[in-house]
A and B are shown apart, each in its own frame.
Chain A
C-alpha cells in the first residue's frame, strides 16, 4: 500500500519531540522526597514525573511513557529492554510502586455462585479476598485472559485460565 508518505505526515509534533529524546537521551533520578526527576537532553529537569505503561496488559514490557506532573508527555520509551541498566531499574521500581494489578494465581474458594460474592484468591502479591459485585465485572481480554474488577474498582488480572489448577477452573467456570 502507498501508506508510507501519509504516515509520516500524520504524526507531526510527536515525531519531532520523539527524535530528540531517544531512550539514552534522558536521565532518571530520584530526589530526596522520593519524587522522580527527569532530565531531558535540552537541559530541562522535571520534578515529580510519572511513569505509565501504555499497554499494561497486552504488552507490559513495551511502550512506557514519562509524563510530567501536568500529564504532558516528556519521554516515550518504546522498549524497556533498550534502556541502560541503571535507568531501567529506577523506572521499574517506579512502575512497581504505582501499578497495582494483582495477578490471580489460584482461586481458593468463593462464598457463593450468586453475586455479590466473596472470592478468596492467591495472587502474585500474596493471598487476598475481594467482593465480586456482579458477573459483568469479569471481562474477557482474550480467550485465555480475564480482568476482574472488585467492588472497590481494583482490577485483578487472570493471565491464563488454562494455567489454573483444576479446582480454581471449576469455580471460575460457574461465573463465565
Chain B
C-alpha cells in the first residue's frame, strides 16, 4: 500500500489477477486504484466473487460475473463504515441522510477492507490524493515492517503456524514413534550395547532346547533299547544346560538394566522438553486447552511411552530375534519339518494386521474419553465452592458418571475386538503344534528324523509360539504408544503464537514509553479490540475504564505480549514488542492481578519469584513497601511460612500485598494493575491502595479498575467501549464534558450511595462493589431481605 502513493498513477501491478484487465478498462486516464477489497460474499451472504476498488475520485464495485459495474463519485459528506459480526465483515457507504451502498466479505479480507477505509478517510479529510505514509507497515496486518517492501515477519509466521496446525490433524501413525529418535540420540551408545546384549542373551536361551536333541537320541532312547547310561555324558549335557541358563540370566539382567536405564532417561527428557515447550507457548494456547488434558499429556502419556520403550518394545525386539534365530536353527536341523512349523506364521501376521486398524482408532478414542473423565475432575475440584454454593453436587456427579459411562462404552467396544485377538492367536498356535506333531510322527515312522529331533522341534516351537502370542500384544502397545507420542508431539510441534524474534532487539534500559498504533485484536472471529491509538509517556499513570467486556484486560494482555496483536503494533520506547525477546521484555513489566496467585512455597520465595537471587534485605524492603511486612511477622514462621495451595491460608488482601511486593522487588519500569483492588473489601482496599501508591511512583502504570475511585491518581483516563477508545483525558476534563466517563462515574456514585444506606441497615454493602465476585449479589440480596 505504501508503494501506491510513491509510484506514478498507473494501475497497481498487484491488483488481483482476474480483475486486472477489467479494472483498467473502467478507469479514466490518470485515475489509479488506491485500494481494493476482493469481495467474496454478496448482499445475501452467498459466496460470490466481487471487487471493490477505491480511486482518488470514486468507488467502483462489481459483483459476480463482472457484468454490472457500479460507480459512486466520492463526496466530502460521505462516510465509509467497517464492521464485522460473526466472521462476516461489512462495509457501508453512507452520506448524511442515507445508506448509499454496502458490501459483504469474509474476515480473510478484513485487513484489505481496513486499508480501503483508511485510504478513504485520508482522501475525505485532506481532500487530496493520499500522501505517502512515513512508516512502512504490512498491508495484511498493519505490523511495522523492518524495511519498506520487506516481507512481514508476522504474517509469514502465521502462515507457517497454520501449516503446523494442519499437520497435527492427521491420525496417529506408528511412524510417530520414530520421531522419538530425537530424544534417543544422546543415548545411542548405550542403546547399541543393549541391543548386542539382547542378541547374546536371546542366543543363550536357545541353547537348552538344542541340548534336548542329543540327550534324547544319545542317552534316553539307547537306554530304552537296553544300553546303560553314561554318567559323564549326561553330566556334560546337564552342565551345558545349566551353563546356558546361567549365561542367559546374566545377559538378560544386563540388557534389561541398561535398556530400562536408557528408557527412563528418555522419558524424563521427553517430559522436561514438553513442559519447557509448553511454558513457552502463549496464553492463547492455554486458554484453548484444559488443564486436565495438558497434565495428562505430560504426566501419563510420557509414562506410557516410557513403559512401552522399556518393556514392550524390548520384548518385541527379543521376540523377533528369537524367531529369526529359531527359524535358522530349525532349518539347519531339518528343512522340511521347519517349513511345516513356520507355516502358521504368515497366517498370524495377517490376523495381526487385520485387527491393527480397528484397535488403533479404538485406543485413540479411549484416550480422548479418558481425558474427558479427568477434565471433569479438573473442572469441578477447583470450582468446588461454586458447586456447593449452588448445590449442584448431584449434577457434577452425574456429569462424572456420564463421562465414566462413555469411557466404559468406548472401552467395551475396543475390548470386544481386542479380547478376540489373544484367543485367536492361541488357537492358531495349538493348531500349528498339532500339524507339527502329525508331520513329525509321520516323519519318525518313515525314519527320516529321530525322536530327538522331533522333541527339539517341539521344545523350540513351544517357546516360539508363546512368543508369537505375546508379540501380538505389541500391536496394541504400539498403537497406544503411538497415540501417546502423537499427543506429546502435538505440543512440541505447536509454534508459540508469540514467538521469540530471530534477531531480538535488546533494550538494556526501558524508559517506559508505550505507543499503540492502530491496534486490533480478534479472538476467533470476534473483534475484541479495534483500531486503538494511544501514546503513554514514561512515568505516566493511565487508568483504563469501561464496562466489563470492553477490552480492558485484553489490551493489557497485548501490552504484556501474552497475545500478539492481530493488526497494528505496540511499541515500547519506539521498538515493536514483537522484536524484543519475551523474557527480557517482561522483566521490565510488573503485573498485579485481581486474583493474586501464590505458588506453594515460603512467603520469601513467593516475593522473590521474579528475582530468585534476591537477598533477605531486599525481600523485607519490598514487603515493607507493600505494607505486608507486619502481617507476615504475625504468621507463625514469618517469612518462612508456607503459603499457596496446601499452605497457610491468607486473606485476599494479604495475598494481594504479597503479589505487590513481588512486583516491587523486580522494580519494573512498566506496571500493570489489573483490577488489583477489586476482590477485597473497602477497608483492605485502603491498605492495598497505600501499597500501590508506593508501587506506582515513577513508573509507567496502566491500571484497570472497576471502582473509579481507585484511579484518582491517574494522569489520564482512557474510556473503552466495545474494544474502542471513546474518551481520553484527566478526570476533571472528562467529567466536564459529560460523556461516557461521566455516566459511568454517576452510575457508580449512585450505587455507592445505595450501598452506604444498606450498610447502615446492617448489610455488608461494600461487597457489592466487587461486581465480579460471584457471591456478591447473593449477599446483597440477603442484606435486603434482612
Contacts and interface: CB of A to CB of B under 8 A. Distances in A.
B126 interface: no
B638 A52 contact: yes
Contacts of A73: 629-630, 633
A2 B633 contact: no
A56 B638 contact: yes
Interface stretch (B17-25, B160-168, B186-194, B614-622): B614-622
Contacts, number: 78
B722 interface: no
Interface stretch (A6-14, A106-114, A115-123, A124-132): A6-14
B640 interface: yes
B638 A55 contact: yes
B501 interface: no
Contacts of A12: 625, 694
B715 interface: no
Nearest to B697: A9
Contacts of A54: 616, 620, 632-633, 638-639
B628 to A, nearest CB: 11
B509 A2 contact: yes
A78 B617 contact: yes
B621 A10 contact: yes
A55 B633 contact: no
Interface string B95-124: 000000000000000000000000000000
Nearest to B646: A136
Most chain B CB atoms below 10 A, which of A7, A14, A54, A63: A54
A104 B621 CA distance: 33
A10 B638 contact: no
Nearest to B631: A71
Interface string A131-147: 00000100101000001
A44 interface: no
Given A6-B667, A73-B630, A55 B639 contact: yes
Contacts of B638: 52-56
Contacts of B637: 56-57, 155
Interface SS of chain A: helix, strand, loop or mixed? mixed
A59 B640 CA distance: 9
A29 B630 CA distance: 23
Nearest to B632: A54
Contacts of A67: 630, 633-634
Interface string B623-655: 011000111111011111010001000000000
Contact of B640 (A7, A14, A58, A65): A58
A56 B640 contact: yes
A14 B625 contact: yes
Contacts of B240: none
Contacts of A63: 616, 620, 639
A14 B616 contact: no
A72 interface: yes
B338 interface: no
Interface in A55-95: 55-59, 62-63, 65, 67, 71-73, 76, 78
Contacts of A56: 637-638, 640
A10 B631 CA distance: 18
A6 to B, nearest CB: 5
B549 interface: no
Contacts of A97: none
Nearest to A73: B630
A10 B617 contact: no
A3 interface: yes
B35 interface: no
Contacts of B620: 54, 63, 76
B222 interface: no
Interface string B680-700: 000000000000001101100
B206 interface: no
B664 interface: yes
B604 interface: yes
B642 A139 contact: yes
A11 B633 contact: no
Contacts of A6: 667, 698
Interface in A1-33: 2-3, 6-7, 9-14
Contacts of A147: 642
Contacts of B617: 78
B604 A11 contact: no
A11 B621 contact: yes
Contacts of A11: 621-622, 624-625
Contacts of B694: 9-10, 12
13 contacts: A6-B667, A10-B664, A11-B622, A13-B624, A14-B624, A54-B632, A54-B633, A58-B639, A63-B620, A67-B630, A73-B630, A141-B602, A155-B637
Interface of A: 2-3, 6-7, 9-14, 52-59, 62-63, 65, 67, 71-73, 76, 78, 136, 139, 141, 147, 155
Given A11-B625, A55-B616, A139-B642, 4 more contacts: A14-B624, A55-B604, A62-B616, A71-B634
